[in-house]
Each structure stands twice: as structure tokens, then as C-alpha cells.
Structure 1
Amino acid sequence: MVFWEEYVSDESMGTFAPILVYWLYAGMYQLLPPLRRYRLHTRKEEEERNLVPLSSVVRGVLLQQLVQAIVARVLFLVTGDEGSTGTFVQPSILIQLLQIIIAMIVMDTWQYFVHRYMHQNKFLYRHIHSQHHRLVVPYAIGALYNHPLEGLLLDTFGGALSFLISGMTARTAVFFFCFAVMKTVDDHSGLWLPGNIFQMFFQNNTAYHDIHHQLQGTKFNYSQPFFSTWDKILGTHMPYRLLTRKEGGFEARPMKD
């Protein structure tokens, strides 16, 4: 039993909980004090180098989430978790963990190849993917700031495939997609915080993705949101050194293998 069971369906939670988690988690980062000693870029860099205002970023994210919610509702309607008797059967914890691992692999694979192709195809980069790279200095609320077509192809379709191929239920999907959203937001936060579990347990983390947003790294570190496996297999992995800046904070500096 889960706490929402008496109030809303798993399908509704699977649709709207990731959106709520996104704004709560990203909003927390946005409302934190400057935390200069933990930033990968200074506030001045963020203000001067980014090419899109916060208001446009918020509108872009809301549009993507609207599309995601529509697709999620259709997906849950088509698949359904209840049998003809209406009896709900939730798989064991072990099966759910296996499904989540499969979903992570599927999502990473889909996003790596679509993301990489959007960089390699000049038309797609210029007209589609470059919108995300207007945030030269990433921040949390901009994690899902994409061209609507990219949001559909990269994130929404990737999520749908992960759900379908893993065979997870809507209830398991609530936990998986909320976790994936938090991971994605964290990767774009621009903060290297002590004790951050995402940065401790994942090589593909805030600093790793920050390299991709730098000029020297735009052809590297395509992997997202979980592992760096495909980058390492296919030669697009760029390691980094995390240096301490004299004026406070850190710098993720690319280095060749």
C-alpha cells in the first residue's frame, strides 16, 4: 500500500507526480542562497553567458510537461494495470528493481543516440537542439528547457519506451520517473554540494553534464541521465578535473583521456 492509494489512482500519480517533483526540487535549488563556494559557475557567468531569460525557460518547461502529461495519460489508458476482475497485483520488490534497472538502460540508450544525432546533424542542432544550449551555464529549472520537438523525441518518447520495455506498472513508474526527474534536475543544477547522493553514486553527474555545455565538450558526454556507459563505449567520453576557484566555488575543467 502507498500513501496516495485512497486518494488518487497510480495512473494519475504517474502522470502528475513527476511534474510536481520537478518544480519542488528545481524550485528548492532556485531559492537557495548564492552558495558561491559550491557553484560550478559564478552568478556573473550565468547572467552574461545564458541567451534566454528565466521567463522563457519556465514557459518552455511547462509546454514540455503538458505534452508529457498527455502522452502519459494515453499510455496508462492503453496499457492499464488492472485485470478483468479489477484486482491489482503489484510485482515483488525484486522484480520492480529489475524493471527499474531495465528502464534506466533503455532510457540511457535512447537518449544517448538521439542526443548525439541532434549534435551531429547540423540542421537538427541549429533548429532544434541549440535551444537547450542557450543555457550555456545550466541551472535546475532549465533541466527540461528544450525545443518542443526535442522534448517529445528525447524525453517523452524515451520515457514511454522505458515504461513499455521494462514492463513496469504505473505504481512502479511513479517512483522511477520521480527519481529520473530529480536526477535530471540535479545534473543541471550547477552546484557541487557535499553529500549529494547523485554526485556520489553516479559518474554522470552535475560536473559531467556541465562539460557537455562547455564549448570544448559539446561533442562529448552525450550520455544522460544515469550512466556514462555509451560515451565510454563509443569514444565520446571526456573526463574532467574538478578545480577550486580562488574566488570561491569549483570549475569542471575538461581533459582528454
Structure 2
Amino acid sequence: MNSSSSSLTQGFSSPLFPLINSSLLSLLSPPSPLPPSSYPFYHSFQTTLIPGISDRYTALAVPILAYWFLGGLFWFLDEAKFGYFERRRLHESEEVTRRNRVTLGQLIKAVVFQHVVQTALGLMWIEPDEIVLPREIFVDHGMVMAQKYAPRVAQLVMVLLGENNGEAVLRSGAGRHLVEFSYWWGVPILQFGLAFFIIDTWQFFLHKLMHEVPWLYRNFHSHHHRLYVPYAFGALYNHPVEGFLLDTLSATLAEAASMMTVRQKILLFGFASLKTVDDHSGYKIWWDPMQLLFSNNADYHDIHHQSFGMKKNFSQPFFTRWDIIFDTVMTREQVNNRHMAVGSSAEAEIDQLEKSYKLD
């Protein structure tokens, strides 16, 4: 690349990446400030997404509202007993009261307590507006793209395509589009991918450990497995210690490691809440987005809640990769084959399981 007449700008500080000609950099850099037409549809110019309510509080409220909204919707279906949805239950409705070891009142009390704890911890963790607004809202996006994204995008393109071919592509007009796409879409997608991976990894290994160490299961995780027939409101029915370690801490680590903005946290927390409620819904509905897009869904997780499946299907809440790696997947076909071969009742298996863990 010819750089004799222009200064050079460094992006990645590594000999693997070439220095960038400043004249090329100027072609890649969007104007500052950006014109309104340059912003993606999801961008909001408002200081708060909900007028008068800090995004900090919205990030804490959204997962709770999502939980009770979707849980309430499935509860309505449970009570209404519409024929279409009754045919898509994973268990007969009477099994909920016959096989489960916790009442609805006890369950709601425990979930409300967990929501109170996670809200209190969130108030201490999520920074106030005077810190967030200058860093995340009052931002010159064009300048950020010019200073941080343009040189790095150029370097990556030149490493992948070679300096001459890479520069030709960048100067063709595609360069600025790559910079803008990386800023508005590429990096956010990678952030959410990393957050999903961290949550899945943290929850899989802690979940698996709680099943493999009898003391942990007996004192903590057995609370959640009092629901042998899961239903939506029970998604976060946990011992408080497990609720903090498994759910609250995993989401906190994920958003911190992926360096999310407060508005990204709103989306992550809300989506994760909807996903875990749907996974415990007790319905197999093919057009349900959570079940259509994820193989780790209500049918998959229901198997884990059965006495014969408690050492299988540990993965939650998004993907099944860790179960596949550790060979802990149990399919519905395997369950059906097992029912044909084994004659013991569900209640007898539950009693045997509880005796093995020395549960009351």
C-alpha cells in the first residue's frame, strides 16, 4: 500500500495488522455528526426509552414484567383448557397437582423473593444516569466509528484479502458500509452471542454440579425439582442461593464480559426471562418462536424435570452444545422407548429418587 504522501493511523497494535493510510481512513469514516438517515431503526435519540423513567430502572423491571406476563399467558391457557392447546400439553393437567411437591402459593412467594433480591442487587450493579448518559447516549457515533472502527475494519479486510485487494475493496465504496455495519450490527451481534455463550456455559456446569453432588442437590437444587411437571410460573422457583448463583450471577457476568450498554442489558435480561418461562411452560407448540428457533426448549427441558431424566439435558437456557459435548442428551424418542420398556409409575420413580437423595 502506498503511504509516502500520507500519515499512517494505527488500529490494532500488532505486527500482524498493517498501518492504515490516513487518506483511506477518511474515505471509510462517516460524517460527524451523523445525519438522521444514517441511524438504524432500533436507535432512539431519547435520553430514556420510556419517558420519565431511567433506562436503569427499565433494565431491572423488564425481566420481571416479561416473566409474569408470559407466565400469566400460559396460566390462562392452563385454566381455559382450549382444545387446541390441551392437545399440545406435555402432561395432563391433573399431573401438575398430583405429582408436584409445591403449591402455587409457595411457588409465587419464592419467585417474588428472587425478583426482589435481583432488583436490589441490580440497583447496586447498574450505574446511575450521570455515568451512563455521557458514555452511552450523548455519543458522537460518527467520531467513534472514525477513530475506533474504521482503522480496525480496514486492517481486518487487508489481512483477509491482502493489502492491495483489501484497499481496492475498501476504496470501492464498500469500506464505509462495512464500518457502519460493524458498528450498528456486527459488534452488537457478537456481544449477544458472547453473552449467550457465557450464560449457557455458567449454567450448564453449575447445574450439572448440583445434580452430581448430593449435598448440593439436597440443600439447594431439589427445591426447583419439586416441580416434576413444570409450568410457566415455576421457571424461577429456586432456593435463594441457587437463584443468585445460577440465574442472577450468570446474567451479570454475561453482560459485563460482553460490555453491554444499559439498553442492550434490557434486551438481554428481557429475552432471557421470556426464554426460561417458555422452557417451563409445559406446552409443545411448534410455532412458538422460542421453540421454533431453539432445540433447547420446553420439550427438551421437560425431560430433565422427570425423575428418569435428571442426569440428562442439563443445558439451559439457549443452546444444547454442552449436553452434546458431554453426551448428556436425552431425546423424546428415547423417553417414549423407555416408557414402553419400563413398567414403574412416575410416582414410584419419584419416591425412589427422593430416597436416593435423602429428601423428606
Q: Would you call these one fold, judging by a TM-score over 0.5?
A: yes
In the TM superposition, residue 84 of structure 1 has moved relative to its aligned partner by 6.9
Assess if the C-alpha contact under 8 Å between 2:111 and 2:236 holds in 1. yes
The structure, 1 or 2, with the larger RCO (C-alpha pairs under 8 Å, 6+ apart) is 1
In the TM superposition, residue 88 of structure 1 has moved relative to its aligned partner by 4.8
In the TM superposition, residue 216 of structure 1 has moved relative to its aligned partner by 1.4
Match of 1:10 among 43, 51, 55: 55
Match of 2:191 among 99, 106, 117: 99
Quick check: 1:82 aligned with 2:174?
A: no
1:60 alignment counterpart: 110
| C-alpha distance in structure 1 between counterparts of 2:122 and 2:274, whole Å | 18
| C-alpha distance in structure 2 between counterparts of 1:50 and 1:122, whole Å | 21
Match of 1:109 among 193, 201, 204: 201
2:29 alignment counterpart: none
Letter in 2 for 1:28: L
| C-alpha distance in structure 1 between counterparts of 2:196 and 2:91, whole Å | 29
> How high is the TM-score relative to the length of structure 1?
0.89
| C-alpha distance in structure 2 between counterparts of 1:228 and 1:85, whole Å | 34
Structure 1 stretches of at least 4 aligned residues deviating more than 4 Å after TM superposition:
88-91
| SS across alignment from 2:296 | coil
> How high is the TM-score relative to the length of structure 2?
0.65
2:318 alignment counterpart: 226
User: Which is greater in Rg?
Assistant: 2
Match of 1:26 among 71, 74, 80: 71
Letter in 1 for 2:90: L
Structure 1 residues 126-185: Cα deviation after superposition (integer angstroms, max 9, x where no partner): 011000000100000000000000001000110110110111111011111111111100
| C-alpha distance in structure 1 between counterparts of 2:265 and 2:206, whole Å | 22
Provide structure 2 residue ranges, at least 5 long, that are not aligned to the other structure. 1-43, 142-182, 339-360
Q: How many residues align?
A: 246
| C-alpha distance in structure 2 between counterparts of 1:12 and 1:89, whole Å | 25
Letter in 2 for 1:76: I
Instruction: Map 1:192-207 to 2 at 5 A.
Output: 192-207=284-299
1:37 alignment counterpart: 87
Quick check: 1:188 aligned with 2:280?
A: yes
Provide structure 1 residue ranges, at least 5 long, that are not aligned to the other structure. 243-251
Cα 1:37–1:7, aligned 2, differ >3 Å: closer, same or farther? same
Identity among equivalent positions (%) equals 40
| C-alpha distance in structure 2 between counterparts of 1:85 and 1:183, whole Å | 27
Cα 1:78–1:122, aligned 2, differ >3 Å: closer, same or farther? farther
Cα 1:254–1:78, aligned 2, differ >3 Å: closer, same or farther? farther
| SS across alignment from 2:194 | helix
| C-alpha distance in structure 2 between counterparts of 1:89 and 1:127, whole Å | 52
| C-alpha distance in structure 1 between counterparts of 2:114 and 2:318, whole Å | 21
Match of 2:101 among 32, 51, 56: 51
| C-alpha distance in structure 1 between counterparts of 2:203 and 2:336, whole Å | 24
Structure 1 residues 64-99: Cα deviation after superposition (integer angstroms, max 9, x where no partner): 111111121211128953347972578623322221
Structure 1 residues 165-214: Cα deviation after superposition (integer angstroms, max 9, x where no partner): 11111101111111111110000000112411111111100010001001
Assess if the C-alpha contact under 8 Å between 2:202 and 2:250 holds in 1. yes
Quick check: 1:216 aligned with 2:267?
A: no
Instruction: Map 1:232-247 to 2 at 5 A.
Output: 232-241=324-333
In the TM superposition, residue 236 of structure 1 has moved relative to its aligned partner by 1.3
| SS across alignment from 1:92 | helix
In the TM superposition, residue 232 of structure 1 has moved relative to its aligned partner by 0.5
Letter in 2 for 1:38: R
Cα 1:161–1:84, aligned 2, differ >3 Å: closer, same or farther? closer
Quick check: 1:145 aligned with 2:237?
A: yes
1:246 alignment counterpart: none
Cα 1:168–1:49, aligned 2, differ >3 Å: closer, same or farther? same
| C-alpha distance in structure 2 between counterparts of 1:232 and 1:124, whole Å | 24
Assess if the C-alpha contact under 8 Å between 1:216 and 1:254 holds in 2. no
The alignment's C-alpha RMSD in Å is 2.2
Identify, as 1 or 2, the structure richer in helix. Answer: 2
Letter in 1 for 2:71: A
Assess if the C-alpha contact under 8 Å between 2:56 and 2:128 holds in 1. no
